Amino acid sequence: MSREIEALETLDEFEDGSYAAYLEYVDLKDKCVGEPTTLFIKDNHEFYSEWSYYANSDGLDVRTTTEETKIC
C-alpha cells in the first residue's frame, strides 16, 4: 500500500539555507541562454559548496572566478 507524500514533508529534510541556495541556483540556471555547460562562481560566494554540488549533479563544469557568478 502506497501513500501520497505531501510536498512540505519532503522540504522538511532540507535546511532553509540549503533550500534558498537551491532556489537561487535554479533561478540563475534558468537565465542561461541555451544549454548550460559551466558554472563560474566566486571562491567566496555565500553558497559556493552548495552550488558546486548542484552543478556537479547537473553535469556542469565548475570554475572558480573573481568576476560575476554565472551559469552559461
Question: Each residue of 37-71: pLDDT tens digit?
Answer: 999 999 899 999 999 999 999 999 999 999 999 99
Task: Give this prediction's pTM.
Answer: 0.76
Alpha-carbon gap, residue 42 to 28, rounded angstroms:
14
- Total structural domains in the chain? 1
Residue 55, number of CB atoms within 10 A of its CB: 21
- Asked if residue 63 lies in contact with residue 39, where contact means CB atoms within 8 angstroms, the answer is yes
pLDDT at 18: 83
Q: Is residue 2 part of a domain?
A: no
Q: Is residue 47 part of a domain?
A: yes
Residue 8, pLDDT > 80, answer no
pLDDT at 5: 45
Q: Is residue 3 part of a domain?
A: no
Q: Is residue 33 part of a domain?
A: yes
Q: Is residue 26 part of a domain?
A: yes
Q: Which domain holds residue 22?
A: 8-71
Which helix (H) or strand (E) is 45 found in, with range?
Answer: none
